[in-house]
Amino acid sequence: MTLRRSSLAMVALLPALLLVARGSGEAGERRSVERTEGLLVLTVKGPIQEALTALQTAIARRNYFVAGINHLDDTLRRRAADLGKPFDFDHYKILSFCNLTLADEGLRADSNLGAFMPCRLAVFVRKGSAEVTIVVMRPTFVSRALQSPEVQRLAVQVEADVVAILEMVAADLP
């Protein structure tokens, strides 16, 4: 009986032991998705290219495709230089992605939904920072503008996918 209790105690402690084995302090901390009323935000450490690669992999794993990446930093950096103003970012990218099945369902429910498509993530690094910030507007927040129960239902599904994508990135990067 004592051996059984000891074994059960070890099983119960396993998640904590795994966290300790992974390391303590900030280096071993798993980043979590911050939720505000309108945004989902994830901050990770590392080069922006690693974050973009992790995002693209996670997006594909959730059955979405990357429609494009806008390199706003290049254009805005040139514009700031022309105006003699500082540019506060080392990098600023907008990554667009979509799930065609959900897009089709959404447009059938309300053709105005296209004004909010595809999903977009801002991925940026502030000047001199070692952190990459990933920000996306919450689909459930945006969907309120259309007041369609079907669009609301789809927004809940898309938001769950977006959170899963961000959580995959958090698991892959420090």
Q: Walk me through the domains of the chain, giving residue ranges and CATH numbers.
A: 1-30 (no CATH), 31-172 (3.30.310.70)
Radius of gyration of the chain (CA): 20
Average pLDDT over residues 32-57: 97
Residue type present at position 120: R
| pLDDT above 90 as % of the chain | 80
Comparison of pLDDT for 10 and 34, the residue scoring more? 34
Q: State whether residue 7 is helix, strand or coil.
A: helix
Asked whether the beta carbons of 45 and 130 are under 8 A apart, the reply is yes
What pLDDT was estimated at residue 24?
33
